[in-house]
Copies of this chain bind each other. A is one copy, B any other.
Amino acid sequence: MPAPARRGYHHGDLRSALLDRAGEVVRERGAAALSLRELARDLGVSHAAPSRHFPDRDALLDALAVRGFERLGAALAAGAAPTEPFAEPLAASSAGSSAGSSAGSSAGSFAGRLTALAEAYVRFAADDPELLSLMFAAKHARGATPELLAAVERASGSAAALVAEGRAAGLVAAGAEEVAVTALLATVHGFASLVASAFLPAEAVHDVLGDTLAVLVRGLAAPR
């Protein structure tokens, strides 16, 4: 059991401290700017200490991506939750002035919850764009660690569960569940990715995203 305090020789919980600090650096300056030695300096340990917890730089980055998918999964789950809105405890910095969600989709409806999930995704991307880049780095195509895949699976679980509910309520055509999940996830991820790379201004997303999802939801009941 790791003790949080730093005593003498041993750090206490270096692994977590490394991930925490690395997360800050990635968010502020991007994954390319992350240096293990600088990390060690920041934490007051020797330059080789990180290697006791991560075999190499890439392993640390992978662990950071896993953490990212866990946070994203939590954010999506919170967004898709049917219950009443609390002021969200994390990821503040909302752009604010975006007008209230207008037509139709009340917070508890299928479309409403889907929209909330989507907006949580976009907020995540706007809040930590470099992390999203890292999470969806193309290098995963050349071999992703099992933990990563598991985290991705868990993160997409909220969307799958929501669609399953929609299916039960007759809002998603039978047999189209899997297609629906993929279509929705891809679409929402597209908006988030464009926001992260800043080609799509975060303020411009709200309306288009809502309209797009509304159209998709209508189509889910009667594909083809």
Contact indicator B211/A140 (Cβ below 8 Å): no
CA of A223 to CA of B103 in the docked complex: distance in angstroms?
A: 12
- The total of chain A residues at the interface (CB under 8 A) is 46
Name the B residues within 8 Å of A187 (CB-CB). Answer: 186-187, 190, 212
Name the B residues within 8 Å of A215 (CB-CB). Answer: 183, 215-216, 218-220, 223
Interface flags, A86-109, vs B, CB<8A=1, else 0: 000000000000000001000000
Name the B residues within 8 Å of A183 (CB-CB). Answer: 208, 211-212, 215
Name the B residues within 8 Å of A211 (CB-CB). Answer: 179, 183, 223-224
Interface flags, A128-159, vs B, CB<8A=1, else 0: 01101100111111101000000010000000
Could you tell me the dominant secondary structure of chain A's interface residues? Answer: helix
The answer to the question of A124 belonging to the interface, with a C-beta cut-off of 8 Å to chain B, is no
Known: A183-B211, A215-B223, A223-B211. A152 touches B103 (CB 8 A): no
Most buried by B among A32, A212, A223: A212
Name the B residues within 8 Å of A196 (CB-CB). Answer: 136, 138, 141
A interface list, Cβ under 8 A from B: 30, 32, 103, 129-130, 132-133, 136-142, 144, 152, 179, 182-183, 185-191, 193-194, 196-200, 204, 207-208, 211-212, 214-216, 218-220, 223-224
- Between-chain CB contacts (< 8 Å), 18 pairs: A30-B137, A30-B138, A32-B32, A103-B224, A136-B194, A136-B197, A140-B197, A152-B199, A179-B211, A182-B204, A183-B211, A186-B187, A187-B187, A189-B194, A190-B193, A215-B216, A215-B220, A218-B219
